[in-house]
């Protein structure tokens, strides 16, 4: 049998290198590519047609959830597994809803990671053992109430300003933080709410009456 072909997507070079090193200790796994953002990941999947893609949930530009959604739509034979630092039920539900074949934590032992990648390649849904109990929690949409439950104060601020029609640079200026930080907050919000664009986010805010939920001081902590 040919080796299992894997692509690793993470914006931290050291983490990509560490994950590659772990996987390539297995004779039946070969890493055929690495990417540091969503666009590069989509291109690499198209070019290399891997069996499994390991995707960090937080990436520059598109979130890992959106990468999973696009890969599942355009390369159905490729299994997408989220490899995340966040043991958050809303991320788990959003990942599975996007078509991901699994959700693993970066803290899992190397042997378990290798076995999970093998299982995903065979079509098995793989979950970190510590995340299994999270499946019984409600999906992300029902976990967010009018008071912004599960969202941080800064995330709620960003959501309200997006709903007002402000671009990232304008939001950054209003809150006194960088546009890159705003992008990171939006990636988290998209993942938590299971949306993939600013338009979907605004629609979600309006449908769930989440306006006027983030009136906090300009200098509130991130």
Reported as a single tens digit per residue, the pLDDT across 100-148 is: 999 999 999 999 999 999 999 999 999 988 888 777 665 544 444 333 3
Percent of the chain with pLDDT over 90: 44
Beta strands 52-55 and 102-105: pairing type? Answer: unpaired
Question: Residues for the chain: how many in total?
Answer: 222
Q: Do residues 114 and 3 touch, judged by C-beta distance below 8 A?
A: no
The model's pLDDT over 189-200, given as tens digits with 9 standing for 90+, comes to 887 777 888 888
Has residue 173 got a pLDDT over 50? yes
- 185: confidence class by pLDDT, cuts 50, 70, 90: confident
State residue 211's pLDDT score: 56
Q: Do residues 53 and 104 touch, judged by C-beta distance below 8 A?
A: no
4-136 and 142-207 share one CATH topology?
no
Answer whether CATH 3.40.50.2300 is correct for domain 4-136: yes
CATH of 142-207, one of 1.10.10.10, 1.10.760.10, 3.40.950.10, 3.40.250.10: 1.10.10.10
Report how far residue 90's alpha carbon sits from residue 44's, in angstroms, rounded to the nearest whole number.
28
The residues spanned by each domain of the chain are 4-136, 142-207
């Amino acid at each position: 049998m040919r080796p299992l072909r894997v692509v690793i997507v993470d914006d931290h070079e050291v983490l990509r290198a560490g994950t590659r090193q772990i996987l390539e200790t297995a004779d039946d796994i070969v890493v055929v590519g690495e990417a540091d953002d969503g666009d590069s990941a989509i291109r690499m999947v198209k070019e290399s047609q891997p069996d499994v893609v390991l995707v960090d949930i937080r990436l520059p530009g598109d979130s890992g959830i959106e990468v999973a959604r696009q890969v599942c739509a355009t390369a159905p034979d490729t299994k997408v597994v989220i490899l995340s630092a966040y043991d958050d039920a809303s991320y788990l539900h959003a990942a599975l809803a996007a078509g991901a074949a699994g959700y693993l934590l970066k803290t899992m032992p190397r042997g378990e990671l290798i076995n999970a990648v093998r299982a995903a390649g065979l079509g098995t849904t793989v979950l970190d053992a510590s995340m299994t109990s999270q499946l019984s929690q409600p999906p992300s949409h029902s976990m967010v109430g009018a008071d912004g439950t599960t969202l941080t104060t800064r995330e709620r601020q960003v959501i309200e300003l997006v709903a007002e029609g402000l671009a990232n640079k304008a939001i950054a200026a209003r809150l006194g933080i960088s546009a890159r930080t705003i992008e990171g907050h939006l990636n988290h919000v998209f993942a938590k709410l299971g949306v993939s664009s600013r338009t979907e986010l605004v629609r979600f805010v309006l449908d769930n009456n989440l306006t006027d939920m983030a009136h906090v001081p300009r200098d509130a902590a991130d």
